[in-house]
């Protein structure tokens, strides 16, 4: 059985809100919802930030307790809103399935296989998996302790707190042809203050060539879109992991349709092997 998904997409928190209005960007949800179809997987951020905005709107104030506890509380409040919005805009003929994951699901082979089989069933059953890191039940201290002991025993581990990493892991798990990382920018810039420096292609005939291009660009990447985010350097690192698994990675603005990003009809950064890109990977737009 061919287990390759045509497309895995990930959307970041800042792409789902109108920061200046302190509100949800419903247009983004509507556009992305209409684009999603069975055979695709969406990794979504946004629960924590949307939960924070919802709490602020209802109470007129923000939480002021322990930052990790506040994050968990906001995420628990925001998850229901995020899923309700996707359900509102995804075509009613398609089912959607929420899949909440933690790092432990990918560091344990039995749990990883369970997630893999769940995703394959979703595709065959005409439904769309929507994945998010399970922040409400994730305890940072316990997570760090577990990962420390795994590393101590020589294991290579996944943290997956950053949904860019979660997207990379999922893309490798299902062997997708294309991974689209949807952000609040048009892609990766050599100079974030100059839109003309958008990097359109990071490609090569070999993995080594692609990696050299990524390393050179990482040296110029400074800053992130919000506190706690890892920024373009980390995004490129996770993209490289996917390219090594045979996936083409596209980084672009969430205001564009998925198929426009995939087919090259919108500005973006494309990362991968030239041979893989030549194979196509178009998705239906109807």
Residue 190 CA: distances (Å) to CA of 178, 187, 201? 23, 10, 12
Model confidence band, residue 207 (pLDDT cutoffs 50, 70, 90): very high
Tell me: the pLDDT tens digits for 15-72?
999 999 999 999 999 999 999 999 999 999 999 999 999 999 999 999 999 988 999 9
d(CA 95, CA 69): 32
Tell me: the pLDDT tens digits for 72-116?
999 999 999 999 999 999 999 999 999 998 877 787 889 989 999
Count of domains for the chain: 1
The pLDDT score that the predictor gives to residue 59 is: 97
d(CA 19, CA 226): 11
Query: Is 168 within the bounds of a domain?
Result: yes
3-state secondary structure of 248: strand
Query: Is 286 within the bounds of a domain?
Result: no
Q: Could you tell me the CATH number of the domain that includes residue 231?
A: 3.40.1160.10
Query: Is 285 within the bounds of a domain?
Result: no
Query: Is 16 within the bounds of a domain?
Result: yes
Query: Is 80 within the bounds of a domain?
Result: yes
For the full predicted model, state whether its pTM sits above 0.75: yes
Query: Is 140 within the bounds of a domain?
Result: yes
Query: Is 171 within the bounds of a domain?
Result: yes
Query: Is 284 within the bounds of a domain?
Result: no
Give the residue numbers spanning the domain of 195.
7-278
Tell me: the pLDDT tens digits for 120-145?
999 999 999 999 988 887 665 555 55
């Amino acid at each position: 059985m061919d287990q390759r998904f045509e497309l895995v997409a990930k959307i970041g928190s800042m792409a789902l809100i109108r920061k200046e209005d302190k509100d949800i960007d419903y247009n983004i949800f509507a556009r992305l919802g209409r684009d999603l179809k069975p055979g695709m997987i969406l990794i979504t951020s946004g629960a924590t930030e949307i939960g924070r905005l919802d709490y602020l709107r209802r109470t007129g104030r923000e939480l002021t307790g322990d930052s990790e506890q506040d994050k968990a509380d906001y995420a628990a409040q925001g998850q229901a809103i995020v899923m309700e919005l996707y359900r509102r805009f995804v075509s009613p003929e398609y089912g959607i399935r929420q899949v909440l994951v933690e790092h432990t699901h990918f560091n344990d082979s039995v749990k990883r296989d369970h997630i893999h089989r769940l995703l394959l069933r979703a595709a065959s059953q005409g439904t769309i998996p929507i994945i998010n890191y399970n922040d409400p039940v994730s305890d940072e201290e316990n997570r760090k302790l577990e990962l420390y002991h795994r590393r101590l025993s020589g294991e290579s581990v996944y943290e997956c707190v950053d949904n860019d990493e979660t997207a990379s892991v999922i893309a490798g798990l299902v062997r997708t042809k294309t991974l689209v990382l949807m952000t609040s920018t048009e892609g990766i810039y050599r100079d974030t203050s100059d839109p003309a420096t958008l990097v359109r292609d990071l490609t090569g005939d070999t993995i080594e060539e692609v990696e050299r291009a990524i390393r050179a660009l990482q040296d110029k990447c400074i800053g992130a879109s919000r506190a706690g985010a890892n920024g373009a350097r980390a995004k490129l690192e996770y993209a490289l992991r996917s390219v090594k698994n045979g996936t083409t990675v596209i980084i672009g603005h969430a205001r564009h349709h998925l198929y426009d990003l995939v087919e090259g009809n919108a500005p973006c950064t494309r990362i991968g092997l030239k041979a893989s890109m030549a194979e196509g990977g178009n998705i239906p737009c109807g």
